[in-house]
Amino acid sequence: MSKVTQTIGVTAVELLRQRDEVFLTTCYKEVYPMIESFIIKNSGTSIDAQDITQDAFYLALKKVQDPTFELTSKTSTFIVGIARNLWLKQLTKKGISITQFQAEQEFEELPESELQTFTRIKKLEHAFVKLGEPCTTIIKQFYYFKKSMQEIADMLHYTNAENAKNQKYKCFNRLKKIATE
Amino acid sequence: MRVSKENMVLFDAYLAHELSKSQKNEFLDRLERDTDFKAEFEHYQKESAELNEAIELNEFKNQLKGIHQKTFPPKKLFLLRPNFIIATSIAAVVVLGIFMLNNSNFSSSNDNMALEESQGNEDDIAYTIEEETTEEMVEASEYENNITPSENGSEVEQYSEKKELDSFELNSIFDSAQFIGISYSIQALVGLDTDVLEEVKEFNNDLLSKKGIASGFFVGEGIFISYLPNADLGQQFALRNKDNGLLFAQVVLQLKQERISILSTERTSGTTNGSPINFDDKSSNAFKGQNIYFPKINSNQIISGNISLITSGRIIVNSKSNSSELIGSPAFNEFGELVGFIVDSKLNEIELIPTHKLKLHIENKGILEFLFKSQTERSIENYKAIIWEIIPLKM
């Protein structure tokens, strides 16, 4: 029995919540081959498998960040279940017949609203990656690290916070534009 | 819904608890009576929260990508994206050259390196070079055995495919202090994205021409060193990596003989923007464990500089490419580490200078030395290779 399957319940949830590197590595090592095998059997590639695995881990992370959430299965089963569900949705979206889908037993149901939110966040993430500097820094420091505009202005050697605010406004709108393209 | 600039500033101030009591009351009052204002605020709050999640997703994905690479290292060949074919081929040509050097006259040149170093009263450096290159020869030989000629007989292409992920993986970790910047060759810039041009223009600069030149080291907020034969002192450039990261830099020092320019990536005028990448001032740890040294330098602090050759090697490569296009291109060893610049070429011959020492005289800091060599680092963990385009800007 692997470390991941032993590490169930509260401990696993806490480790996932903390994005613990050792835990994530052990978990990834266990679930990725399963997800890859499943996706390749069902019209996908290794690249698809990596994307879906990352998405599944993220959705699992969001789940465990909810204090009311209770993990009732093994962590690996939970993540693989999410991954299968995500891949199924992608196949459906691509118009690949459901009959081609080699159904297996474990799926983690994801509410449509959660998937829609996740789709929006993914678009924003793609836009963020494309944004370029100095916008990436400004946006990240402000919205993620909660730095003040004065701190960002200092970091980027702007003469004052007003310049940084102007730049942030431009960056924010550019990000939205990229996300909607 | 587009939030106005004034309102965004106001919303940010409110959410950051930066409003005074009276301003806060006024804000809350307006929320109650102005439905459009309220809708705008709620929309912005939602967008901000989703943006936060998007960045969290990005961070988490980067962590997982790192885990994936460590846990499941690539074994198969990868198809190159068109933009990188030339750059990777250049690297491959040089790597083949290194193999040839290892197999033929590397031993003798290695002795010469040690001799030159000793004569220069730098025994510690000489020792390092000797020790590391010996080890490297063994590993290079092992790697060479893994090269399988492709169907068209071009080992260069085959090798470049193998090298792609190892050598050109972008380091997306924001706060990493150390990078090696590698620019495209000129022809690899044909596919430059139009959105990049727009981005450049947004910073009030007109793009002069698409031109990527040579190799260089990007050193965070400090300097970017590149082979730039036609640059002028004070000329400004946009530096862009393959993930669209954009920096602005200005030539602050030129080493005419070597045709190398030192660019400062700090903010230099109202029309450029400073580097967003933090790094530590390591002025007290020169050469300690690292062979590339990254001081924090303001452009006006650089008084003078010179670059000197510490070791040299001549590599003859049977390149099918036009060798003149390789001038200034990066040279890699088999570990994907940058080992020098191609500084000269004749037909089918490339002269490689594996190691340079750059001395900069910095105000209040004295002489700082940079040893451009990475053979002693087995891992590129600390020296992530990033391909940079260098775009001249018309101010």
Cβ–Cβ of B246/A134 closer than 8 Å? yes
Report the pLDDT value the prediction gives residue A52, as an integer from 0 to 100: 92
Q: Hey, are the CB atoms on A143 and B48 less than 8 Å from each other?
A: yes
Structure tokens, A69:
């959430």
| Predicted structure pTM score | 0.46
pLDDT-wise least confident of A83-92, A105-114, A140-149, B59-68: A105-114
Contact state of B55 with A165 under an 8 Å Cβ cutoff: no
Condensed to tens digits (0 to 9), the pLDDT of residues B258-309 reads 566 766 654 322 222 233 222 222 222 222 122 222 334 445 555 665 555 4
Mutate to test the interface with B, among A114, A128, A143 (most CBs of B within 10 A): A143
φ/ψ of A55, rounded to 5, equals -60, -40
pLDDT digits (tens, 9 = 90+) for B237-248: 766 544 445 566
Mean per-residue pLDDT of chain A: 79
Mean pLDDT of B89-118: 32
Q: Which residues of A touch B299 (CB under 8 A)?
A: none
Percent share of chain A, pLDDT over 70 = 86
Q: Is the pLDDT of residue B97 over 70?
A: no
Judge contact between B63 and B69, C-beta under 8 A: no
Answer for the pair B295, B262: CB distance below 8 angstroms, yes or no. no
Q: What would the mean pLDDT of A97-111 be, rounded to a whole number?
A: 57
Residues 138-177 of A with CB under 8 A from B: 138-140, 142-144, 146, 148-149, 155-158, 165-167, 169-170, 172-176
Preceding peptide of B330 cis, ω within 30°: no
3-state secondary structure at position B391: strand
Confidence class for position A53, pLDDT limits 50, 70, 90: very high
State how beta strands B366-372 and B260-264 pair: unpaired
The residues facing B186 across adjacent strands are none
pLDDT of A15-42, one tens digit each? 777 787 878 888 898 899 888 888 887 8
Asked whether the beta carbons of B204 and B271 are under 8 A apart, the reply is yes
Radius of gyration (C-alpha) of chain A in whole angstroms: 20
Going by pLDDT thresholds of 50, 70 and 90, the confidence category of residue B80 is very low
In angstroms, the separation between the Cα of residue A109 and the nearest Cα of chain B is 20
> B54–A32: do the CB atoms touch at under 8 Å?
no
Whether residue B245 and residue A133 make contact (CB cut-off 8 A), yes or no, is: yes
State yes or no: pLDDT of B32 exceeds 70: yes
Residue A66 sits at the chain B interface (C-beta within 8 Å): no
Q: 3-class secondary structure for B8-64?
A: HHHHHHHHCCCCCHHHHHHHHHHHHHCHHHHHHHHHHHHHHHHHHHHHHHHHHHHHH
Amino acid A131: pLDDT: 77
